[in-house]
Amino acid sequence: MPDRKRILFIINSLAGGGAERVLTTLLRASEPWRARYDIHLALLDDEPRTYPVPDWVTVEQLDARYSLLRSVRQLRALVGRLSPAATLSFLTRANVANAAAMAGSGRPWLISERVNTSAHLGNGRGALAAKLMVRVAYPRASHVIAVSSGVVEDLVANFGVSRSRVTALANPVDHESIGAFAALEPSFVPAGRYIIAAGRLVPNKNMAMLLRAFAAAELPTRLVILGEGSERGSLEQLAASLGIADRVDMPGYVDNPFALLARAELFAMPSNAEGFPNGLVEAMACGLPVVATNCASGPSEILAGRAREDVTGPLDVDAGALVPTDDVEAFANALRSVHAEPRRSACGAAARARSLAYGVEEAASNYWGRIEAELAGLAAPKSPAAGKEVALGSGVAG
């Protein structure tokens, strides 16, 4: 249908990760909009695809090889060929490339910020350059979609984004898909009862603090940590020095993490920084009680319906507990308290119920509502779904 407007989604690749999973989940839920729009997906890097794309989405495979300059050049050529009515990008490099490719086009371009930008980019010479690019690009976007209110506040306070141009939309959680995967047999089976954590083995995820808290809590369970990263060796050494190596499993990435999550007794999230913690909500969707740090950003909104700065000290919540970042004693105390029955079962049921606020259809409607608002040159629509999200502490900001 030649009269349909083209909408171009952009991401680095589909090689794996939370943003990639969220984007493909949104695309699958976008079928109601395919009659109105010709939907394309640009992949900047030519890498193996972990997540499938619907066959009615046209995939534009580029080969930028992780280079921002090549990403800009190739994406600008693609935009010139497709003339999309609007674009929406995910992840920082794709967002900056989107800004450069759409500059001067006179058409709306949106970006989705998946992380707490200040915490994610960190410090140092490279970080300063990256932050400068964000400060130049993001305020010029037609609109910025952030994954939590905490990310909104960071963009407004530190990167010059106008509050009127940024909206917080929570990530979707595909409960149907999670349930199907959870029912399958796991590829890795721990030797006994266990609690579980998941994330890259890097400093920001703070698995070292979790190991110390697990040792201090003295739970009658094992600890399973899913993920890979540069800290694997040091974490293994730390577990040995704490005398818990025989009760800690670190199987790396597994084929079906949901099968492991569904059989665990508790989910632990020790992070120092998040954008929107997908793993936390996915664990809640599996019916797990949770102990999470009150990091920037997302956990306080998900678990307490409150801004991070409004939560001081440890806080018991219906789904488990929220504790200060990098506080071994508080985390250990929360592990003991939430893991003990009957609280564990009650928190697990509450966690599952809370996770239902992050449905796929609602998220897709919110994203397409924002795209169509920009196409029409209107303010963000206040849909009943968006109003519900506001009440839950994870919806529209600004």
* pLDDT one-digit tens code per residue, 148-200: 888 888 899 889 999 999 999 988 888 998 999 999 999 899 999 999 999 98
For residue 143, give the 3-state DSSP assignment: strand
Residue 282 in tokens: 């996915």
Cα separation, 255 vs 186, in Å, equals 8
Each residue of 3-27: b (16+ CB within 10 Å) or e?
eebebbbbbbbbeebbbbbbbbbbb
Contact call for residues 210 and 235 (beta carbons, < 8 A): no
**C-alpha span between 384 and 398 (Å, rounded):** 17
Domain definitions of the chain by residue range? 5-172+359-391, 175-357
Q: Which helix (H) or strand (E) holds 225?
A: strand 222-226
Is 13:45 a contact under the CB 8 Å cutoff? Answer: yes
Q: Could you tell me the pTM of the whole model?
A: 0.75
Tell me the pLDDT band of 23, cut-offs 50, 70 and 90.
very high
pLDDT at site 17? 77
pLDDT of residue 147: 85
Residue 124: the pLDDT is 67
Residue 333 scores a pLDDT above 50:
yes
Q: Please tell me the predicted confidence (pLDDT) of residue 391.
A: 28
Pull the structure tokens for residue 5: 């407007």
Q: What is the pLDDT of residue 119?
A: 65
CA distance linking residue 19 with residue 172, whole number of Å: 11
Per-residue pLDDT tens digits for 342-373:
999 999 999 999 999 888 998 999 999 999 99
Read off the pLDDT band of 308 (50, 70, 90). confident
The pLDDT, as a whole number, for residue 5 is 95
Average pLDDT of the segment spanning 89-108: 94
What's the count of helices (H) and strands (E) in the chain, helices before strands? 16, 14
For residues 288 and 323, give the distance between their C-alpha atoms in angstroms, rounded to a whole number.
17
Say whether pLDDT at 120 is over 70. no
Number of Cβ within a 10 Å radius of residue 381: 15
What CATH superfamily is the domain 5-172+359-391?
Glycogen Phosphorylase B; (3.40.50.2000)
Mean pLDDT of the chain: 89
For the domain covering 175-357, report its CATH number.
3.40.50.2000
What pLDDT, on the 0 to 100 scale, is given for residue 2? 52
Top-confidence residue, 127 or 51: 51
Identify the three-state secondary structure at position 191: coil
Cα angle vertex 154, ends 109, 273, to 5°? Answer: 110
Question: What CA–CA distances, in Å, run from 48 to 14, 111, 130?
Answer: 7, 24, 26
- pLDDT given for residue 33 in this prediction: 97
Examine the pLDDT at 381 and tell me if it is beyond 80.
Answer: no
pLDDT tens, residue by residue, 82-97: 999 999 999 989 999 9
Q: What is the pLDDT of residue 132?
A: 86
Give the pLDDT confidence of 8-22 residue by residue, as tens digits. Answer: 999 999 987 778 988
Are 168 and 148 spatial neighbours (Cβ–Cβ below 8 Å)?
A: yes
Peptide bond preceding 220: is omega within 30 degrees of 0, i.e. cis?
no
Taking the C-alpha atoms of residue 122 and residue 189, their distance in angstroms, rounded to an integer, is 36
